[in-house]
Structure 1
Amino acid sequence: MAEPIFGRVLTAMVTPFTADGQVDLPRARQLAARLVDEQGNDALVVNGTTGESPTTSDDEKRALVAAVVEEVGERAQVVAGVGTFETAHTIQLARQADEAGADGLLVVTPYYSKPPQRGILRHFLDVADATELPILAYDIPHRAGVQIESATLVDMANHPNIVGVKDAKGDLAASSRVIAETTLAYYSGDDAMTLPLLAVGGVGVVGTSTHFTGRRTRQMIDAFVAGRMDEALALHQALLPVYTGVFATQGVMLVKAGLAHQGFPVGGLRAPLPEATEAEQAAFAALLDVADL
């Protein structure tokens, strides 16, 4: 397996906030360094859903990308989430991320308006034409309201700037078909599906629990790539409670609770997201402790 352009372990980084609800850039830099230096991430996704991108302004998004690039850009790649439900705005964010120093872009399926496949294809191609940055298409129908169909992904793969997929569709057969018919690098967008996706040709993960499991997830992927299947399976099974437990409620809520549990608080959340309940926090903390994370 060739080393994919963004590496194998990426984390969709949460956005730290100050006590008064402002983006905390110094803490974002510290978190980025923690994820790269302690958790072994090859790249970080900034301004994704786990980064609460629906509630951050364009100026905040630019500042976050610039801060993370400045902190870890010499030892990890920075992929900027720029997807919106409007093509023109997505292009604007893509160019802004490029100017801020991003190495790549994460572009989610246009959501809510549920465009037909020809509209989805045109959206991705127009964004891909807007900069020279490589793009991961984010296929997550349970959030976007519509999937990127296999035929559309095959067509998208003809554009040289569309290099991969963050796959949260939950359809391994469909993903396997696109992997077989294109050169798109498939990253699991569901932590628990990382090993199954590797088995059909995937290359890695864009994770949420990887705020905590990054280094051991890398060990799992490395074991798989090296052909040590028993070791990879054992790691998958050991980490599975955390892979799934982080999504017991909205993932960012439990990541922030888990970081606080580990003595690395990153502030609260922006409405409409509430903080995890005490019971949710305790249950996730217990999973981290049992997994020796």
Structure 2
Amino acid sequence: MNGIYTALICSFDENGKVNEKGLREIVRHNIDVQKVDGLYVNGSSGENFLMSADQKKKVFEIVKDEVKDEVKLIAQVGALDIDEAVELAQFATDLGYDALSAVTPFYYRFDFEEVKDYYNTILENVDNKMIIYSIPALTGVSMNLEQFAELFENEKVIGVKFTAPDFFLLERIRHAFPDKLIYSGFDEMLLSAAVLNVDGAIGSTFNVNGQRAKQIYALAKESRIDEAREVQKVTNDLIAEILANGLYQTIKEILKAQGVDAGYCRKPMKRLTEDKVENAKAMAAKYC
């Protein structure tokens, strides 16, 4: 399960319905062009929290059908509705996904015992492995080393997608749990995380920048830090331009410029202006 995983973008048509043809093209682009080691399906980058349960299932089905066993697949099943999370976990497991992931429950101010019960409830209803998805900036849920240790007591919890800039905590988790998988979740900080010996990374910009992400990770593992820093610099130049232009919309427009039917984002995400579409095309020409 080590390596570089794309947080998969999902293609939608102008009415917000899953565009199967486009989704399959995005999957193939990630495998054949970006050469990533796996796909993280129905995460934030896939606009998961804007979709119905049926739409999420459709995405799981299409991606598994396209991938077969070419690369590893992680299914993000987290939802505020615990019954939906369990249902999606069972569905993805039956499809043959290699592991599950679930964002910490959000919006309400859940205490840690409630967060722990959420994960244990999902896992007691399914025969699969779990990767905790920790992204405090969006969920408001921060956990300390002792709390991660409690979650890891469940043998089915095999690791964490760590999307936080707290490198002290990241190092402490790595030191305390050498046998757990740690994936870096901030694309712009991949090198810094790789130096701390993470097991891989999961990122949205890997849809268009996966090859560089693999370079950074490999160079860091070989202690070729100066070379890795140069690749991270180019990567961060691209990320800065993407963020200034509109994250998910711009990634889709870069993919379109490469001939991939990446479609549109679901409302309430807005469409890019013509100027921003042109910016995205320029990024594709410059970086891809």
Instruction: Quickly name the TM-score band, shorter chain normalised.
Output: over 0.9
Deviation at 1:250, TM superposition (A): 5.1
Range 176-185 or range 188-197, more displaced? 176-185
Count of residue correspondences: 287
Structural mapping, 1:101-112, within 5 Å: 101-112=96-107
Q: Paired residue for 1:211?
A: 207
| Rounded Cα–Cα distance in structure 2 between residues aligned with 1:261 and 1:26 | 16
Q: Paired residue for 1:232?
A: 228
Q: 1:244 to 1:132 in 2, by over 3 A?
A: farther
Deviation at 1:249, TM superposition (A): 5.8
Matched, 1:24 2:19: yes
Q: Secondary structure at the match of 2:244?
A: coil
Match for 1:46 among 41, 45, 57?
Answer: 41
Q: Is the 8 A contact 1:241 1:287 kept in 2?
A: no
Q: Is the 8 A contact 2:78 2:104 kept in 1?
A: yes
Matched, 1:180 2:149: no
Range 185-194 or range 277-286, more displaced? 277-286
Q: Is the 8 A contact 1:209 1:242 kept in 2?
A: no
TM-score (norm 1): 0.91
| Rounded Cα–Cα distance in structure 2 between residues aligned with 1:187 and 1:261 | 29
Q: Paired residue for 2:9?
A: 14
Matched, 1:123 2:114: no
| Rounded Cα–Cα distance in structure 2 between residues aligned with 1:177 and 1:271 | 39
1:204-237 deviation digits (Å, cap 9, x = unpaired): 2111111111112112211111222222112111
Q: 1:248 to 1:117 in 2, by over 3 A?
A: farther
Matched, 1:88 2:116: no
| Rounded Cα–Cα distance in structure 2 between residues aligned with 1:250 and 1:151 | 37
Higher relative contact order (CA 8 A, sep 6+): 2
Q: Is the 8 A contact 1:242 1:288 kept in 2?
A: no
Q: Which runs of 4+ in 1 moved over 6 A?
A: none
Range 36-45 or range 182-191, more displaced? 182-191
| Rounded Cα–Cα distance in structure 2 between residues aligned with 1:55 and 1:63 | 14
Structural mapping, 1:277-292, within 5 Å: 277-291=273-287
For the aligned residue pairs, the C-alpha RMSD in angstroms reads 1.8
Q: 1:245 to 1:158 in 2, by over 3 A?
A: farther
Q: Secondary structure at the match of 1:247?
A: helix
Q: Is the 8 A contact 1:188 1:205 kept in 2?
A: yes
| Rounded Cα–Cα distance in structure 2 between residues aligned with 1:128 and 1:251 | 32
Match for 1:65 among 35, 52, 60?
Answer: 60
| Rounded Cα–Cα distance in structure 2 between residues aligned with 1:124 and 1:245 | 36
Q: Is the 8 A contact 2:75 2:99 kept in 1?
A: yes
Structure 1, unmatched stretches of 5+, are none
Range 44-53 or range 94-103, more displaced? 94-103
Match for 2:70 among 56, 75, 86?
Answer: 75
Q: Is the 8 A contact 2:134 2:163 kept in 1?
A: yes
1:234-269 deviation digits (Å, cap 9, x = unpaired): 211121112343333653222112212323232112
TM-score (norm 2): 0.93
Range 187-196 or range 129-138, more displaced? 129-138
Structure 2, unmatched stretches of 5+, are none
